[in-house]
Structure 1
């Protein structure tokens, strides 16, 4: 599967539990929406990611991607310590250049 560079960086960094590399995939004003909450900017995204990684100990396996201009939707199998694991989730990315400006995670 050929993922855009910042999206590949996001999934690779998550797999390695590398929060520093993961944050660098995002623009400074990026927004992540997950579990009904929004997290804006590097500091909030970093706090969100560390919280969910600690709570769920998840592993993400990207399975398919659909691109439309600056938008990409990735379907992925997510396994971890949560009810219903593993789950199929959609990671909807908005890109600008070589950075992620938005990410919405849902079913």
Structure 2
């Protein structure tokens, strides 16, 4: 069956009805859901919608938000790396040193505002808080079979 294109007024009424009856809530999205941005940066990418965050990436985000350095480090491959605006920290101990000074060590918080995926690359847009940098950033994770091989931070 092919659905006709919905008209904006119909969408507003349906959304209002769903919200009123409790089928959909307003406010924060459910845990793990990202915000909506309908246009992908590249035509082969999944657009920034309420797609689930892949498990390895979610584990890294949760560990950072929980202040759990060991769990954060466990999400990376043995030769995994963090690229923080061109500064590369490769391997568990290098990532730990960076994180202790600039990430988990400064009580980072990451509020996900969007997610897009292209193959094994997942870009998470987030508002960063804590006692270090505060503001919007993009975190691009490269997933491998045994964990994250890279977390690249850009703006």
Which TM-score applies when normalising by structure 2?
Answer: 0.63
Which runs of no fewer than 5 residues in structure 1 stay unpaired? none
Aligned residue in 2 for 1:105: 153
Which runs of no fewer than 5 residues in structure 2 stay unpaired? 1-32, 34-51
**Higher Cα Rg: structure 1 or 2?**
2
Number of aligned positions between the proteins: 104
Name the structure, 1 or 2, with higher relative contact order (CA <8 Å, separation 6+): 1
Which TM-score applies when normalising by structure 1?
Answer: 0.88
- In structure 2, relative to structure 1, the CA distance for the partners of 1:68 and 1:32 (3 Å cut) is same
Aligned residue in 2 for 1:95: 143
Structural RMSD (CA): 1.5
Give the 3-state SS of the residue equivalent to 2:125 in structure 1.
Answer: strand
Q: How does 1:1-107 map to 2 (within 5 A)?
A: 1=33, 2-52=52-102, 53-54=104-105, 56-82=106-132, 85=134, 87-107=135-155
